Structure 1
Amino acid sequence: MDARYRIAKILICALLPLCVAPVLKAQSLMDGQMEVRNLAVSRQEDKLFVSLDLDVSALKVGTNREVVFAPTLSKGEHLIELPAVMVAGRNRYYHHLRNKSAVSLDRLYRSGEQDVIEYRLVVPYERWMTKAALNVSNTTNGCCGTPILNDVALLENVLPEKDAMAFFPEYVYIRPKAEQKINQIEGSAYIDFPVNRTELYPEYRRNPQELKKILATIDAVREDADTRILGISIKGYASPEGSYTNNVRLAKGRTATLKEYVRGQYHFPDSLFTTSYEPEDWEGLRRFVEGSGLTYRDEILRLIDSDMEPDAKDRKIKVTYRNDYAYLLREVYPGLRHSDYMVRYEVRAYTDPEEIKRLLRTQPQKLSLQEMYLVAQDMEPGSEEYNETFEIAVRMFPGDATANLNAANTAMRLGNLPLAEKYLEKAGDTSEAVYARGIHAALSGNYEAAETLLKEADRKGQEKAKEMLKRLEEVRKSLE
């Protein structure tokens, strides 16, 4: 099956709900030997879609004969001959195959081999097609004798005036800038150290599992041929009990020990690592207390937020709220002694469209916005994979203005105006974003707002805005 035909089929299935002429009852051709079913015509933007099923199950074609189904669009002096379908008997079928007939091979069928032929077509829309007629000629040819011709009107008005006057926009997508792809993976490990010591024992308590977490994160990047580690950072935390000075020593020393352990596993250069430490994790303690049901929750929060010195603060909580403090010391403080780590890495650039498509399905986090955009240019606008590409892009880059603008355009194409509005809130204020908001207003029926926004987009240099303003004016006049 021709690739363009497959694309047309996808588009028609997606777009027929938009601005569609009624699906008519079945129509017989050639004294009932052929039947046209599910006939529908629609317009979307600058394209006209024709869809019908041609039932040829009752058609009997002699071995040296052929039947040509040739649709046309016409109105007054305008006429477009649409691609014909041929059903041929055995000899005529192979004759066309051998001689590379003018009939497109994807529309050539051998009699008796197919009961229903799906006819799907996309043609550029022109204004005269409003109220145009869709006719079909059926010609029976043979090696001898005169061709038999039958003309039938399938549809007298393929696109009613009210549908032709609907607002059909052109969408403007932005090509993202090329950027270095720097990603990072983060995690927390809870390494057990002997009381008041900084030595690390890999087999001590739960250390085997916690150290494995760190190494597994590094391995996930290190063993991927598409990535290169740029840096590893480790930040150690101690809990608030004990003296602040001693906690500085513990947090700093334990962080350095953990770094050396990790470095030794891979023989990484020291320059690859950065370390820092937090002597007492008061922020972590505050997060827990705020969400807890402690008896003196509010009072403890006020102490945590106070300007008291750390040692005095911890002592005050301990002395004043003994039961709550005992609970914190037993259940919460151990979790405040943790080491946060981050692996920062670079992903190589991708240029092969098929590889990018595979990664879109399996590892979209490896792709840049630009790579997603570039592969979308190889897809048919409006197709399922095209729309999905921009949806993936905005999921991977939810705060990016370009990703949100392109996703808004896709949502509007699909008729999902509430989702498009959500994306447009984060699309920025470029001429393309203002233009898209104007399109959204027009599709929502708010023509005054649409006009204001499109004029602003025009002032900002968006070249499509003038044409959309003309279309908008035509629609508004048609409603008067």
Structure 2
Amino acid sequence: MKRNRIYRTSCLLAGYMLLSAAALAGEGNPPVFRKGDRLCVELTLGTGETELSANEQLIVTPVITDGKNRMTLAPVVFTGRIRQKVDERRERLYGTPALPEGAADNIVLRNRKQASEETLIYVGDVPYEPWMAGGDLVLQRDLTGCAGHSASLSPLLLARIPAPVRPQLTLLVPAEEPVKRRSEQITAVVHFPQGRSVLLRGFADNGRQLQRIDSLTARLQENDGLTIEKIYLKGYASPEDTYAFNTKLSANRVASIRNYLHERFAIPESDFATATVPEDWDSLRRWIVVSDLPVRDEVLAVIDEVSDPDARDAAIWKIDNGKTYLRLLHEVYPQLRRVDYRVEYLLPAFTTEQSRRLIESGPGQLSLAEMCRLAASYPEDSPERASVCAVASAYYPDDPCACNNSAMLALRQGDTQTARHYLSRCADDPRSLNNLGVLCLMEGDREKARHCFTLAADRGSADAAYNLAHFDELSYEDFGQRSSENLL
């Protein structure tokens, strides 16, 4: 024990059946309690029924034990007046210590009237170790009488050491979206015969490309709870031929795909919105930048400096007598003739049970609030809660609630580095203050942890109020252990 104190009030103590433990008057502490990384013992020792004779010595030692492990605190010695003289003489003559090593105090009882005249207050603390949780605080009593006769009396059970209090972590559930609007998009490289706008399913790779559009459309139509708001079609053409011709051609090609969807899936024409890019110079330029064209810089200069698209097309043809132009025509231009297909739709609100099914089959249909409510429905340390939080973080990576909940999961796993990463991304949201307090506690900054809990509690966090109320007993030792067993 590194620190112990004995306080004597107005009188002395006697008896070896003595010794009852009580809380310090006015402080409300139990005989043994956790305070940060220390286990504290605070006892009021009172007299018992059996007196200590003048020839006897009683050594009273507080012991912390769980049946397998034990830690001994400094003993208190009660010595009769004759025994004291004998011990002092033996120490002078033979060097035999009168008191056990580390004794907190020696109470010399000089007359029997002292038996009811003193109260002794014992205060000590030791480093807290996990095995102490649920153990006992007992008083070990060793009596020595005449002629060195000694006996160990039955130990007195004073108190059960309370189990550590786990910090409450905060899982946030945001407000539900007023409207759950979603969209899905694919890019299909639909081929048309050069200069034509007739859609041929058997031409080039069109069968596979149209199957992708069909699959997305059918899946959304088969979802009874989903309402399609708008289908956006944007067609792109390559730069060969004149700009005026390409403008008309790209519009006709988009109209062909719109008509195809209208006929195949009975989609009203009013549900479509179309746009065109007659000549996709931007995509062409990006390809040239990373290409190995020998005249790459010359082609880029033409694209950047010649504003008229027809003159630009002609200038590229002239660079090396059409060699580069022909390569672009065969390798690049076919990929520029494409359609962006985007469907915007509305989703209904889902119950927790519906969310439980969709988190596996269609997580994109769930709002963050629905994901968080689903996570909250699972036990704190369950793999299901961890899995849902991970999905929420993937689908809503920048949302403060998702970041806070990912930090909560990391803290539960004992991973403070990941927790700090996520908390830094939602630092402006006061709802994350409680989890920040737990992080500070785990990193050893108890002062900052208390400050965070206080701020969060003032803002209405029940978790922070709990952590603040049990601040000295908080323990996170099992976080990492639980994560390795249940969460990974």
TM-score band w.r.t. shorter chain:
0.5 to 0.7
Change in CA separation of 1:310 and 1:378 when aligned onto 2, cut-off 3 Å? same
Change in CA separation of 1:408 and 1:263 when aligned onto 2, cut-off 3 Å? same
Match for residue 344 of structure 2? Answer: 344
Match for residue 261 of structure 2? Answer: 262
**Equivalent position SS for 1:311:** helix
**Equivalent position SS for 2:250:** helix
Are 1:421 and 2:423 an aligned pair?
no
Provide Cα deviations, 1:123-182, integer angstroms capped at 9, x if missing partner: xxxxxx9665369xxxxxxxxxxxxxxxx99xx98679xxx5xx9532222212212332
Match for residue 329 of structure 1? Answer: 329
The 5 A counterparts of 1:132-143 are 132-133=134-135
Match for residue 50 of structure 1? Answer: none
Change in CA separation of 1:157 and 1:219 when aligned onto 2, cut-off 3 Å? same
Provide Cα deviations, 1:327-377, integer angstroms capped at 9, x if missing partner: 2221011100101101222333222x4432232233322222222222233
The 5 A counterparts of 1:170-189 are 170-179=168-177, 180-189=179-188
Provide Cα deviations, 1:290-346, integer angstroms capped at 9, x if missing partner: 222222334433443446222233333332254433322210111001011012223
Are 1:394 and 2:372 an aligned pair?
no
What letter matches 1:277 in structure 2?
T
- Could you state the TM-score of these two structures normalised by the residue count of structure 1? 0.60
Identity of aligned residues (%): 31
**Equivalent position SS for 2:234:** strand
Are the aligned partners of 2:191 and 2:334 in contact in 1 as well (CA < 8 Å)? no
Aligned mates of 1:467, 1:307 — CA distance in 2? 69
Aligned mates of 1:261, 1:419 — CA distance in 2? 49
Match for residue 195 of structure 1? Answer: 194
Change in CA separation of 1:159 and 1:451 when aligned onto 2, cut-off 3 Å? closer
The 5 A counterparts of 1:368-383 are 368-383=367-382
Match for residue 224 of structure 1? Answer: 223
Match for residue 286 of structure 1? Answer: 285
Match for residue 308 of structure 2? Answer: 309
Change in CA separation of 1:363 and 1:158 when aligned onto 2, cut-off 3 Å? farther
Aligned mates of 2:205, 2:394 — CA distance in 1? 36
Aligned mates of 2:446, 2:288 — CA distance in 1? 53
Match for residue 412 of structure 1? Answer: 411
Structure with more relative contact order (C-alpha pairs < 8 Å, separation 6 or more): 2
Aligned mates of 1:303, 1:458 — CA distance in 2? 64
Aligned mates of 2:365, 2:136 — CA distance in 1? 49
Are the aligned partners of 1:437 and 1:453 in contact in 2 as well (CA < 8 Å)? yes
Tell me the CA shift for residue 469 of structure 1: 6.0
**Equivalent position SS for 1:202:** coil
What letter matches 1:169 in structure 2?
P
Change in CA separation of 1:422 and 1:132 when aligned onto 2, cut-off 3 Å? closer
- Could you state the TM-score of these two structures normalised by the residue count of structure 2? 0.59
Aligned mates of 2:222, 2:470 — CA distance in 1? 55
Tell me the CA shift for residue 465 of structure 1: 4.9
Aligned mates of 1:375, 1:247 — CA distance in 2? 51
Tell me the CA shift for residue 468 of structure 1: 4.8
Are the aligned partners of 1:431 and 1:462 in contact in 2 as well (CA < 8 Å)? no
Are the aligned partners of 1:431 and 1:457 in contact in 2 as well (CA < 8 Å)? yes
**Equivalent position SS for 1:236:** strand
Are the aligned partners of 2:168 and 2:464 in contact in 1 as well (CA < 8 Å)? no
Provide Cα deviations, 1:161-208, integer angstroms capped at 9, x if missing partner: xxx5xx953222221221233222211222222322223333334333
Aligned mates of 1:456, 1:373 — CA distance in 2? 24
Higher deviation after alignment, 404-413 or 184-193:
184-193
What letter matches 1:281 in structure 2?
D
Aligned mates of 2:278, 2:316 — CA distance in 1? 18
The 5 A counterparts of 1:229-268 are 229-268=228-267
Are the aligned partners of 1:442 and 1:472 in contact in 2 as well (CA < 8 Å)? no
CA RMSD of aligned residues (A): 3.7
Are the aligned partners of 1:171 and 1:409 in contact in 2 as well (CA < 8 Å)? yes
The 5 A counterparts of 1:22-171 are 132-133=134-135, 168-171=166-169
Change in CA separation of 1:207 and 1:469 when aligned onto 2, cut-off 3 Å? same
Tell me the CA shift for residue 225 of structure 1: 3.1
Aligned mates of 1:311, 1:337 — CA distance in 2? 18
Change in CA separation of 1:456 and 1:320 when aligned onto 2, cut-off 3 Å? farther
Are the aligned partners of 1:186 and 1:342 in contact in 2 as well (CA < 8 Å)? yes
Unaligned runs of 5+ in 1: 1-42, 46-70, 73-128, 136-151, 476-480
Are the aligned partners of 2:231 and 2:343 in contact in 1 as well (CA < 8 Å)? yes
Aligned mates of 1:422, 1:305 — CA distance in 2? 42
Q: Larger radius of gyration, structure 1 or 2?
A: 2
Aligned length: 329
